Structure 1
Amino acid sequence: MLFTNQINELMDEVEDLIQGRFKEVDRIVDVNQWKVIQAFRHHKISDFHFAGSTGYGYNDRGRELLDEVYAEAFGAESALVRPHFVSGTHTISTALFGILRPGDELLYITGRPYDTLHKVIGQPGDGKGSLQDYGIGYNEIPLLANDNGVDWESVERHMNRHTKVIGIQRSRGYDWRASFTVEEIGEMVQRVKKLNPEVIVFVDNCYGEFTEVMEPTEIGVDLMAGSLIKNPGGGLAATGGYIAGKQKYVELAAYRLTAPGIGAEVGAMLGTTRSIFQGLFMAPLIVGQAVKGSIFAAAMFEKLGFETKPAWTEKRTDLIQAIRFSSSSHLITFVQGIQMASAVDAHVVPEPWDMPGYEHPVIMAAGTFIQGGSLELSADAPIREPYIAYMQGGLTYSHVKLGVMTAIQNMRDQGLV
């Protein structure tokens, strides 16, 4: 791939600029890598734990220890880690259906959640088996317009005796805002627990794992969920998700995944155990590579005059790098450039389409080894104003750098930069 001298010079300038930030990322990688290894060592993981199970999967010691290793690595009482979760949305849905009952209310305090969760929440009487179809109430508190912080006055007004679960989305989703740090989530926990000590605090942790040295379950969150084809799968888990938190809530989620009385005691792993264990081992390093790529992308596009969130100088708490463009042409050309740099399906040209679970046409670059694996380099965006692209992932920093430079070259070839 050939780039213009101007793009190569910009790359050199940016890489010199961001070296200090890379050292900060390396320190986070070390803390998380050692934390994961310590969990493996504590539970005496051996190669015979990687053997697959079939049928009911009774007495699958590898599966049981996988749950325990995840729980320790995330500072939680318990965890449920399974290839049977088909996506992050499915995992979150399982957690919410596990802990909510008819007459309860789910209150999201971080604004409207990610698009794919809207159908899970649903409408009363929609006949689709959504939360509201089962008589579970729902409300959401928009973030404050001035600083995108939580509107605590509205939270206090809306919390009531039916409010069973407080929902928090750690990552920005398709919003032009900062993602919430673990420290900020901890402050949210303290405030809602003062209003009602019995309320359950749930966090959608997708894209956030291992980007900081602590996880939400280490600072008081009752339950959280995420996808294995994002951060914690390390690029090796072919499917699956995890739920972690207090043991009683994880158990309820397990009953929802399988059936009451069965819970986490069954579930054939079908040869996936090794890759899920190894993916967790690799995850701190691979997440660090992706975070470095996001810092590089932010600095490159800022130098070209585009607005980014987070800026390259800002603290990172997830993988997502948002870049604001001035037109749909800029947006589409950028995403197509990311696809051009892929190792898989580089010859495919993404176009906007009506993707299931989304409310606007979406364009997605996803030249990945794992379908939908967003720890791998990918980019997507709804085609709506403001025109914001969301780039995430990268199994190696070098690949992210190639993707960013290819996207810039593609935009330059189209006369857009």
Structure 2
Amino acid sequence: MNASPSSILEAAWHKVQPVFARIDQQAIVNQKKVLSAFQAEHVTAHDLLGSTGYGLDDAGRDKLEAIWARVFACEAALVRPQVVSGTHALRLGLFAALRPGDHLVFATGAPYDTLETVVGIRPHPGSLSAWGVSHTIVPLQADGTVDVDAVIRAIGPTTKAVMFQRSRGYSLRNSLSVGELASAMQAIRAHAQQAFLLVDNCYGEFVETQEPTEVGADLVMGSLIKNPGGGLATTGGYVVGRRDLVEAAADQLYAPGLGRESGPTHEFLRTFYQGLFLAPHAVSQAVKGSVLAAAVFESLGLEVSPRWQDPRTDLILSIRFERPDRLMAFCRAVQNSAPVDSFVRPEAAPMPGYESPVVMAAGTFVQGASLELTADAPFRPPYVAYMQGGLTVEHVYIALERILDAMCHT
């Protein structure tokens, strides 16, 4: 690296400004959508107080879910602190849609690692496979797009659900845009009207100006400690879409017959409301950070995806290092740039739900909150790091200064 870290960053910052302007315009569209939903539901200070015990008659919770249904242009929403992760939300959606003897098709290749035990790709008690649900994984095409013809061929008379993963997970494929999802879902719907269309929306909320429920998805799931929590939600997940499927997911979360009527919100409602309100801006900051980081790493000759000028469909930026020492230097510099636990030294270690050891840099205010600046990587060749988040683009800028300095010495 011949140029100084500061000159590399300054050049990248000036180069990406036209992209930043487009991101700002998208954020305005999304902010209007959220604000309109708040105003249509007549939010009051009383709605922010929460409930205890069984959580019966929680008007603030019900109003929040009505706002989510408006924002996602769907029939119903389940937004609860009892949903602890994106994987948990996906599990609720899958078990809501499927019954023993049903067949599930993955339209976007193998799912994210933590879903493998939920489905039974890696055998585990209580999985869909153990419950008598079969599955077929349809690989993406060579160019990373959905192989619609192959998905249609995989659909049989017992196929009850087709699952799409919007984000790349621990793969080098591109994330899928809402437009790409719309095209694939339209073709599949025409062939298999009996199949529910499900979308793993993690990392994708508010990155574009539409959500998958607006273009044909029956059920969409995700985590509040990613995009839609706006950096304020300290736990929680969501399931949105068709009313019958959302009700079935609520029965899975609590108990059949209790469903959405149960579920105390305690002190979470204020942060859920405020986090959703801030989410369009917070997500735009994280997307700007991803664009800037891509421009910086591309200038060093590293392979990144997406490239800095490419349209964004989620938060994740993959950076291919090829060497384990460079990967570790990157992750440790991300951790060193954190506001919390900056002194911690990340190491690759086994993690529940992951097949390979994983190195994680996550000095976050909320444990595992990947809307905050984080990086993680399965510790295996070709040593690819997955960088996401950044509550402010200024924080990403400062982190990139430290990352560049660390890479100078590796």
Q: Using structure 2 for the length normalisation, give the TM-score.
A: 0.98
Pairing of 1:192-231 with structure 2 (within 5 A): 192-231=188-227
Q: Which residue is 1:260 aligned to?
A: 256
Q: Which residue is 2:360 aligned to?
A: 364
What amino acid is the match of 1:248?
D
Q: Find the residue that maps to 2:26 and give its secondary structure.
A: helix
Q: Find the residue that maps to 2:35 and give its secondary structure.
A: helix
Pairing of 1:325-404 with structure 2 (within 5 A): 325-404=321-400
Selected match of 1:7 from 5, 8, 25: 5
Selected match of 2:125 from 125, 128, 132: 128
8 Å CA contact 1:123, 1:133 repeated in 2: no
Distance 1:153 1:35 in 2: 35
The CA deviation at 1:153 is 3.2
The CA deviation at 1:123 is 5.3
Match status 1:20 vs 2:18: yes
Cα deviation per residue 1:318-365 (whole Å; 9 max; x = unaligned)? 000111112111111111110010010000000000011000010000
Selected match of 2:401 from 402, 405, 408: 405
Q: Which residue is 1:38 aligned to?
A: 36
Distance 2:383 2:31 in 1: 37
Q: Which residue is 2:61 aligned to?
A: 63
Q: Which residue is 2:293 aligned to?
A: 297
Distance 1:27 1:67 in 2: 26
The CA deviation at 1:152 is 2.8
8 Å CA contact 1:255, 1:264 repeated in 2: yes
8 Å CA contact 2:85, 2:237 repeated in 1: yes
Distance 2:126 2:70 in 1: 34
Pairing of 1:162-241 with structure 2 (within 5 A): 162-241=158-237
Match status 1:139 vs 2:136: yes
Distance 1:315 1:168 in 2: 20
Q: Using structure 1 for the length normalisation, give the TM-score.
A: 0.96
Unaligned runs of 5+ in 1: none
Structure 1 123/336 Cα, relative in aligned 2: closer, same or farther at 3 Å? closer
8 Å CA contact 1:109, 1:140 repeated in 2: yes
What amino acid is the match of 2:132?
G
Distance 2:138 2:193 in 1: 20
Q: Which residue is 1:103 aligned to?
A: 101
Distance 2:328 2:3 in 1: 24
Cα deviation per residue 1:233-291 (whole Å; 9 max; x = unaligned)? 00100100000011111111111111111110111101100000000001000000000
8 Å CA contact 2:77, 2:238 repeated in 1: yes
What amino acid is the match of 1:252?
A
* Identical columns (%): 48
Distance 1:326 1:257 in 2: 42
The CA deviation at 1:127 is 5.8
Unaligned runs of 5+ in 2: none
Q: Find the residue that maps to 1:389 and give its secondary structure.
A: strand
8 Å CA contact 2:148, 2:188 repeated in 1: no
* RMSD over aligned Cα atoms: 1.3
Which contiguous aligned blocks of 4+ residues in structure 1 show a shift greater than 3 angstroms? none
Structure 1 303/44 Cα, relative in aligned 2: closer, same or farther at 3 Å? same
Cα deviation per residue 1:386-413 (whole Å; 9 max; x = unaligned)? 2110000011101111112211211112
Distance 2:317 2:191 in 1: 34
Structure 1 18/243 Cα, relative in aligned 2: closer, same or farther at 3 Å? same
| Equivalent pairs, count | 410
Selected match of 1:116 from 114, 117, 131: 114
Structure 1 33/127 Cα, relative in aligned 2: closer, same or farther at 3 Å? closer
